[in-house]
Structure 1
C-alpha cells in the first residue's frame, strides 16, 4: 500500500501482502484452527520488501542521507512522530535484505536494523444484551462496578483503529456514543483520524469502554475509561513493526496509562521490544495477546520483558482451543471458545464489518486472545482509577487476585490464574484505603509525640477538635461519610472530594494522567498553608492538624508503594519513596516550627495587649 510521508526529502514505501505473520484475525479463527501447521511455510518467513532502521538519536538529516546512499536504500521516516526516535523505513529487494542489514550494522550511527516484520490482529447495567456477555460475569464485573468504572484513565488501543467519529465515509458505532476519546493517530495512512476499516479494533475498544447503562447494546468493563485510538493494522488486519513501535511510544508520550496490543507474530523485533521497554519505563501497563497458535509459545510482543501476556479461556473456564501459552504468560481472561460454547461462547461487542464501513454496525461474536486482552487492559484501568498509579503495583494486584485454574500459583497455561476484577478492585480499594487509614493512625501518633515535647503553654487555645479535623482531612479524608452521600458514584465529584484525603484531590480533579506530581506530593501545599495562615489564630489548630496529616499521608504512600510520583525518575521506585519520606519529614519539622512561631507571636501579643 503506498504511503506518503511528510518530510519532503523522504520517499514512500510499500508493504508486501505475502509477508503477513501467522496470527490471523480473531473473527477468522475457525477457518484455520485445524489446519496442519507443517503443510505450509510460516508466513512471517516470507521475503520482505521493507527494512526498519533505528538511527541513533543524535543522527542528522545528512547522516540519514549518507546511510541511505551507503546501503543503497531510500530511507524515510516511518511517520511524523518518528523523528525523535529516528525510525526509518525503506524498500529493499528480498535477495538483498541480509547483505543490506549486514552493511548497516557496521555503521556506528545505526542503533538497530531489522526486517520490517508484519503483524496481524489476533483474533448489571441496563444494556439489553448484557445477559449474553458471560465474560463480564466471569470476571466479576457487576461487583467491581460498585467500586470503580475506570474514569480518568486513558487506554491506548493499538489495532485496526476504532469506529469513534463521523468523518468522511466513517461513522461512530452506536454503542460508543457515550464513550470518551482522546486524539489518536493512523500510522498506516499518516493522518490524525484513526478510523477502523476492519472491525477488530472497534470490538476490542468496546470490551474496554463500550458505553454502558445507556439502554443500548452491550457493556464495557471499564466503561468510564477514555480510549486513545491508534491505527497500525490495515483493512486486512496486518501492520508493520515500525508502525507498532511508533504507536507504542506515541501512546506512552501522550499520557496513556494502559496500552492494549491485541496483535502479534512469530518474529522478534528488537525495535518493538525497545518500544515496550520505553512505555514500561514511563509507568505504562502494556497488555498483550499471547497468540492464537494453540501451542506452548507466547508470541511477540507478548513475549517481551515488560509485557503483560494474556491467554484465553472459554465459558467453561478452560484454556481455549486456539490459545497460545508459555513461560512468559502473566494471566488468563475470557476470550471465547466456540468449540465448547457454540456461537454465544465467543465475546459479544458492537463493531463493524469491513464490507460495511460507514453503512451500518453490528453486534458480533469474536473469539481469540485478542478478545481476552482488553478484559485485562480494562481491569488495569479500573485499578488505576482507584488511585493505584504504579504500573508494577497494578500488575501485582491483577496477578495476586486472579483465580487459579490450573496448578496452584503460576502455570504456563493460565499464568497466575483467570482475571477477577471483583477481587482486584477490592484489593486496590484496600491498598489505597490502607494508606489513608495508616496515615490517620500515624498522624495521631505524630501529634501525640509532638505535643508531649512542647511546652504546655504553647498549645493553649489551639483547639484539639480543630487539630483532629485537620489531620483527618489530609490523612484519610472523611471516608465514614460515604454511605450518607446521595450523589451517584460515577458522577459524584463533590462526594469524592468530601470523602477523600486532601493530598489525593488532584486525582479526582485532574485524573490519573496528571495526578501525583512531585509538586503536589510534597511538603509544598501544606507549607503554603502554614505560611499563609500563621497569624490567623482561629485556624491554627486546623492548619497544624492538616500539616501533620499531610506528612502522615506522604509517609504511608511511600510505605505502600501504590503511587508513582510524576517528574521523579522511575516507576514507584526508590527515588519516589525517598521523595515522599523526605517531604514527610520536612512537614513534621515545619509543624513544630509552626507551633513555636505561633506561640512566640501570641506571647509577644500578650505583652503588648494585642494577642492575635
Structure 2
C-alpha cells in the first residue's frame, strides 16, 4: 500500500494548509477582508455569515505592510500578525470590537461562532509580538494562539545522492533498498551521518585491527577475562559492527549505515557464539554507563530474564536505545531480548524486499531491515556475505545513530516513533505481526528527523 505519512508535530486544527509542491504564493496588497453581514462569495461557494464557521481568508499570508522578509514557507512557521482568539463567554460583541480596536486588529471570521473562537489580523505586522502580548494579557480573552503554517507530509523525492568510493559498496543492496545514500545526502551542519554517537555492539567482540573498523573503535568491555573486547575469533561481532558503522569513503571495503559513528565492542559472547545472562546484563550496564547511544544486540534466546530486562530498562533510563534481532526461527516463538518492552525488535528482508522465511515474527516486532547476503567485515582484512536477523539488527542500530546525530535528546520512545514513521510499509496495511511497520528507510527517517529539528528552532 502507499503509506500516509504524518507530521512529526501536530498543530492547531485552525492553522492554514500549505501545499509543499506549490511554485509560489500570492500576497494581497490590502488586509484580509473583514467579515460582513452579507453573504461572501469565494469562487462559486457561498458562505453564510451566520454559520458556525465563516472563515475564508484572501491569502495564505497577511499583506507585507512594510515587512521586508516574508515568513518562510515551512511547517511550523508563525504567521505574523494573525491570531486565533477565544473571547470569554460573557464578552459582548461591542466589547470584543473595542478590544480589536485597542490592539489595531481586524476580524477575519469565526472558527466556531458559538465558542467565540475567531481569527484576528493585525493592521501593523511590525508590532505582531506586542499585539500577541496585549491579547494574551487581556482578562476578557480566554485563549490566544498565533497562527502558523502546516504542510502536507508527502516527502519530496530525493534530489541528491551521497557519493561512495568503497569498492564493495556495489554488493550492498541493503543501502540501496533503504535509500541510504539519499539519506546521507541530507546531512548538514555536522548532523546526519552519526556524528557524536556510539554504537555498542554486544556480540563476540570486534576486530579492532580490521582496516574498515580500526578507526572507529572506542573503549569497550569483555565479560571474559581471557578475551579482549577489541578482538574477535568468531567473526559475528565484527560483521555486525561493519554493517552498522564501517569506515566510509576510504576507498576500501564497505560503507556502514552510520559513516561517522563510533563502535564500542561489548564482548558478551565467546568464540563459539555463546554467552550467559550474567555476562549479557553486565555488558548492557557497561554500555549504558559509558555513553553508548544505541545498544545493538544480534543474539536471542527463549528464556525470560528479570536481570536482563532490568539491565535494558537501566539502559533505556540513560537514553541508550536498545535494538535486538527477532531471531531466525521462522515462527512466532517469543525470543529475548527482542521481546522485552522498549526494545526495537528487528526482522529480516531479502534482496526482493520480502520478509525472509527464517525471520521470527510476533506482536512485538517493530521494523524490518535487509538480512540476506549482507556484505560486511570479518576478522583480518576480509569480507563475507551472511544471512540472519543478526545482520538486519545493526542496520537499524546504524539508523538510530543517524537519528541521534540530528536530534541527540530524543528519548527511546521518540526514536522508535521516527523509525516507524519513516518505514516503507510491507504486506498488510499498517502494522502486522510479520513485518511490523515495514522495512526501514534511511532517507525518509532522516527527512523527518531534520523536519523535527527545524520545528524546534
TM range (shorter): 0.5 to 0.7
Per-residue CA shift, 1:242-274, capped at 9, x if unaligned? Answer: 100111111111111100000011111111111
- Indicate yes or no: 2:436 matched with 1:415: yes
Aligned-partner Cα distance in 2 for 1:190–1:393: 39
* 1:149 maps to 2:193: yes
Instruction: State whether structure 2 residue 165 is matched by structure 1 residue 126.
Output: yes
Cα displacement (A) at 1:216: 0.4
Find the counterpart in structure 1 of residue 388 from structure 2: 368
Q: CA deviation at 1:192?
A: 5.7
Distance (whole Å) between structure 1 residues aligned to residue 408 and residue 230 of structure 2:
30
Q: Which runs of 5+ in 2 are unaligned?
A: 1-162
Partners of 1:204 and 1:162 lie apart in 2 by 9
CA distance in 2, matches of 1:276, 1:283: 11
- 2:292 aligned counterpart, secondary structure: coil
Tell me, in whole angstroms, the C-alpha distance in 2 between the residues paired with 1:298 and 1:400. 25
Matched-pair contact (CA < 8 Å) for 1:258–1:285: yes
Conserved in 2, the CA contact under 8 Å of 1:388 and 1:432?
no
Does 2:185 match 1:163? Answer: no
- Give 1 or 2: higher helix fraction: 1
TM-score normalised to the size of structure 1? 0.46
The residue that corresponds to 2:368 in the other structure is 332
Deviation of the 1:322 alpha carbon? 1.0
1:175 correspondence with 2:212: yes
- 1:388 positional shift: 4.3
Whether 1:348 aligns to 2:387 is no
**Aligned-residue offset at 1:215:** 0.6
Whether the aligned pair in 2 keeps the contact of 1:210 and 1:220 (CA below 8 Å) is yes
Between the aligned partners of 1:298 and 1:408, the Cα distance in structure 2 is 23
Q: With a CA cutoff of 8 Å and minimum separation of 6, indicate the structure with the bigger relative contact order.
A: 2
The 1-side partners of 2:334 and 2:175 are apart by 25
How far 1:212 sits from its partner (Å)?
0.7
Query: Is the 2:195–2:405 contact (alpha carbons within 8 Å) kept by the matching residues of 1?
Result: yes
Deviating runs (4+, > 3 A) in structure 1? 190-194
CA–CA distance in structure 1, aligned partners of residues 258 and 303 of structure 2: 32
Higher strand share goes to which structure?
2
Shift of the alpha carbon at 1:404?
0.5
Separation of aligned partners in 1, 2:427 and 2:229 = 43
Q: How does 1:292-331 map to 2 (within 5 A)?
A: 292-331=328-367
3-state DSSP of counterpart to 2:174: helix
2:219, 2:382 → 1: CA distance? 25
Contact 2:377 2:384 in 1 (8 A): yes
CA deviation map 1:277-307 (0-9, x unaligned): 1111111110000011110124101001111
Q: Aligned with 2:275: secondary structure? A: strand
SS in 1 for 2:366: strand
1:100 corresponds to which residue? Answer: none
Query: Matched residues in 1 for 2:334 and 2:323: separation?
Result: 13
Deviations 1:33-58 (A, max 9, x none): xxxxxxxxxxxxxxxxxxxxxxxxxx
Aligned residue pairs total 289
Deviations 1:188-211 (A, max 9, x none): 226664411110000000011111
- Please name the residue that 1:381 is paired with: 401
Structure 1: distance between partners of 2:286 and 2:226: 13
**What CA distance in whole angstroms lies between the structure 2 residues aligned with 1:143 and 1:303?**
32
Return the TM-score normalized by structure 2. 0.62
Which residues in structure 2 correspond to 1:76-95 (within 5 Å)?
none
- CA gap of 1:191–1:351, structure 2 versus 1, over 3 A, is closer
